[in-house]
Chain A
Amino acid sequence: MLDPIIFGLMIGAFLFCTGILIVIIKKNAIFVMIGIELMLNGANVNFVVFSGSDPNIQGQLMGIFVVVLAAAESVVALAIMLNIFRHFQTLDLNSLKKLKH
């Protein structure tokens, strides 16, 4: 029987790592955004797990802000993706090759 805290942390870590993996291996920008969301959620799970034992529930507060921020980030991402799509006709990250390297 696992300690619930540890279990929560493991779930958080899993989400985080899954997010990293997706962020790296997927070619599509939207997938990468999904990965980022997963990473954020991993962190959020951690917050919630730790916040459970915190009478000040700061973790939960943080979580709320994070969710809002994630939404905001998606908006920004969408705006930029629209631009990308207009110029490149795709969201495939590999086709972004206009900049020098």
Chain B
Amino acid sequence: MEDYLLAFILLLPLLGGIMAYTFPSKSGIIASIFLSITTILAGYHLNFVEGKLWIFQFEWLPGFVMSFAVDRSSAVLILMVSLISFLVHLFSIFYLSGDGYKDRYYLKLGFFTFSMLGLLMSDHLILLFIFWELVGFSSYMLIIFWFQDVKNAIAGRIAFMTNRIADLILFMGLLMLLGSGNDGFLSSLGPLPQNDSSTAIGICLLIGILGKSAQFPFFTWLPRAMVGPTPVSALIHAATMVAAGVYLLFRLFIVFDPYLLDWIASLGIITAFLGALIAACQTDMKAVLAYSTISQLGYMVMGMSVGAYDMALFHLWTHAFFKAGLFLCAGSVMHYLSIQNPADPTQDMRRMGGLKGYLPITFWSYLVCMMALVGLPFFSGFISKEGITLGAFSWAMQRENGLAFALPMTALGISFITAYYMGKQLILVFLGSYRGEKLLKMPQKSWIERAPILVLAILSFGIFYRIHPLGGDLSFLEYWLGTQPKVEGNWVTPIMGSSILLVLLGLGFSYWKYGRQGMREVKSFNSSRLSIFVQNGFYLDKFYMGILVPSFDWLAFKTSKVDTVLINPFFNKIAISTVVLSKVTDLFDRLIVDGLISLIKSVVQILGSMFTKFHPTRVQMHFVSAIVGLVIILVWLKFAL
């Protein structure tokens, strides 16, 4: 029975997508209905996985057994994915009401949900990789949903390629892991023996994780992915797909050796810090959220690798809801603006403002989700974030090296920045007055728009997770997630306190900076060179490029003022150099390889003409050649005998 249940959960979204594609007129509704069933089943399914694994084994290749397995953590994540997916489906009905390709959209979305669920259910590395790739594929398909604009297509391609680089390195790691005698079942993974190859495997796996979760050197693809429809961003690029990396880190935790884990933690915190800084300088509404996602994922990665993986997973859950909520709010805002001004739909926060009055439900939902994100008490984000921070502190305390404290300290610092940029966004978008041309008041009647946002906002309250906001008993959800008992110690309270303080400070700072000028034009926004620097992602791309062409760095800095569009020079450069290389090989192929053959051909032909010409006109030359031949034979005879 339970096996079938899993199969239903897995296949229903796909089926829904196909049905939606088959009946395009009612596509959204059909898909949503299927998803709702899935969600209910996923919730129901939690009953069956108490403390044990449900395993469905099958032979995929001869002698090569794979299995689906669900334990408590994945069951909860399955619920999360299906729930958010359901909500996003609902929201999409509203969001895409005017689009002509809805049927395709729901097919893709259903396929994505299917892949994501498969990823969570798979118990074998190869199976996991299969779904991992399918997730990437469907993400690509969704990013290029509005393919008529070639910019979107390019963005989608680059996002997919970046992902694929990481994926293939992960693939290599998996293969090496299998090659080293491991049978590849996640549920029975053990630590690897310490040697060079295990380090290599670890690094490969790590890169895969970093790529999918948009961590430090790979994070550039995520902002690009924002060209897809906003609900898609909410589902894929905030809640689920990017979390897959964290999920994999959680699953493979045991494989990494501790030394490597420290590095992962550092990478995580660096990402979190950078992401937050960049987010603070963005003007695009979705970009802020995208970088914020990167930052939060860095948090999770850090949490995972310092050993607070329970909390990190918990943060994954909470983050999924409030970030999806935020994205849907952003979608709501953008949809509203685009209806108002179809000719020039904007995502630039500088041209918004005062939307509170126009979109009240959105505003309040946004506020709740934002509070959860910045980590104020009574909201879900606070619980998970504090858990990670405390985990990091306790990890640092176990180190002899004082430098280790840099990690949790930075994490605290990040909560200040987070609060700052979220506060800024709230102020710029909802408060004050509208900075564009005049805005008509339009009633928002559609519950299909409001309901998902509201549900997500409600789920961002801390009450669902822990009764007492500042600690205390585990709630049912935490139990399901397998959270460890809380960290104890007398240092816990000051840290919590300082964290809350920093958040409040951040909010205050944002108000000080933007709230006061509320009504006026945002003139001084991003005027300083530093903020441009940060806004452009620390010119990380340009730094990459500098490795290849140092002079380009300078040029890029000069041109970046004009070119505000974020380009991705590193991968561009790789792509360009690959293309150049391919041109070179093509030339090689044509000139050298084929040329060599032609050369042989011409040599033979020249020889041929020579031999052809060697039939002289003069018959007496015939005699000469024949007799010379005879003479040569005889000379040979003379010396041979």
Measuring CB to CB, which residues of chain A are less than 8 angstroms from any residue of chain B?
20, 23-25, 32, 93-94, 96-97, 99, 101
Q: Which residue of A lies closest to B616 (CB)?
A: A101
Q: Among the listed B615, B619, B624, B627, which residue makes an inter-chain contact with A96, where contact means beta carbons less than 8 Å apart?
A: B619
User: In the assembled complex, which residues on chain A have CB atoms less than 8 Å from the CB atom of B618?
Assistant: 93-94
User: In the assembled complex, which residues on chain B have CB atoms less than 8 Å from the CB atom of A96?
Assistant: 617, 619
Contact A93 B620 (CB under 8 A): yes
Complex Cα distance, B623 from A25, in Å, reads 10
Complex Cα distance, B616 from A94, in Å, reads 11
Chain A CB within 8 A of B558 CB? no
Complex Cα distance, B616 from A18, in Å, reads 23
Known: A20-B627, A23-B623, A101-B616. 14 other contacts (CB 8 A): A23-B620, A24-B627, A25-B620, A32-B620, A93-B618, A93-B619, A93-B620, A96-B617, A96-B619, A97-B617, A99-B617, A101-B613, A101-B615, A101-B617
Contact B617 A24 (CB under 8 A): no
User: In the assembled complex, which residues on chain A have CB atoms less than 8 Å from the CB atom of B624?
Assistant: 24
Range for the number of chain B residues in contact with chain A: 10 to 19
Contact A24 B613 (CB under 8 A): no
Residues of chain B from 121 to 154 with CB closer than 8 A to chain A in the complex: none
Q: Which residue of A lies closest to B627 (CB)?
A: A20
Measuring CB to CB, which residues of chain B are less than 8 angstroms from any residue of chain A?
613, 615-620, 623-624, 627
Complex Cα distance, B616 from A96, in Å, reads 11
Complex Cα distance, B618 from A24, in Å, reads 10
Complex Cα distance, B619 from A63, in Å, reads 28
User: In the assembled complex, which residues on chain A have CB atoms less than 8 Å from the CB atom of B623?
Assistant: 20, 23-24
Complex Cα distance, B621 from A32, in Å, reads 13
A-B contact pairs, 13 of them (CB 8 A): A20-B627, A23-B623, A24-B620, A24-B623, A24-B627, A25-B620, A32-B620, A93-B618, A93-B619, A94-B617, A94-B618, A97-B617, A101-B617
User: In the assembled complex, which residues on chain B have CB atoms less than 8 Å from the CB atom of A23?
Assistant: 620, 623
User: In the assembled complex, which residues on chain A have CB atoms less than 8 Å from the CB atom of B615?
Assistant: 101
Complex Cα distance, B623 from A41, in Å, reads 18
User: In the assembled complex, which residues on chain B have CB atoms less than 8 Å from the CB atom of A99?
Assistant: 617
Complex Cα distance, B620 from A25, in Å, reads 8
User: In the assembled complex, which residues on chain A have CB atoms less than 8 Å from the CB atom of B627?
Assistant: 20, 24
User: In the assembled complex, which residues on chain B have CB atoms less than 8 Å from the CB atom of A20?
Assistant: 623, 627
Complex Cα distance, B615 from A99, in Å, reads 10
| Chain A to chain B: the 10 pairs with minimum beta-carbon distance, closest first | A101-B617, A101-B615, A24-B620, A97-B617, A93-B619, A24-B623, A23-B623, A24-B624, A94-B618, A101-B616
User: Closest Cβ of chain B: how far from A30's Cβ, in Å?
Assistant: 14
Complex Cα distance, B624 from A25, in Å, reads 10
User: In the assembled complex, which residues on chain B have CB atoms less than 8 Å from the CB atom of A32?
Assistant: 620
User: In the assembled complex, which residues on chain B have CB atoms less than 8 Å from the CB atom of A93?
Assistant: 618-620
Complex Cα distance, B627 from A32, in Å, reads 15
User: Closest Cβ of chain B: how far from A50's Cβ, in Å?
Assistant: 20
Complex Cα distance, B316 from A74, in Å, reads 112
Complex Cα distance, B369 from A88, in Å, reads 111
User: Closest Cβ of chain B: how far from A54's Cβ, in Å?
Assistant: 25
User: Closest Cβ of chain A: how far from B575's Cβ, in Å?
Assistant: 58
Q: Which residue of A lies closest to B612 (CB)?
A: A101
Complex Cα distance, B1 from A64, in Å, reads 115
Q: Which residue of A lies closest to B615 (CB)?
A: A101
Q: Most B CB atoms within 10 A — which of A24, A32, A96? A: A24
User: In the assembled complex, which residues on chain A have CB atoms less than 8 Å from the CB atom of B613?
Assistant: 101
Complex Cα distance, B627 from A96, in Å, reads 21
Complex Cα distance, B618 from A23, in Å, reads 12
User: Closest Cβ of chain A: how far from B503's Cβ, in Å?
Assistant: 99
Complex Cα distance, B622 from A99, in Å, reads 14
Q: Most A CB atoms within 10 A — which of B613, B616, B619? A: B619
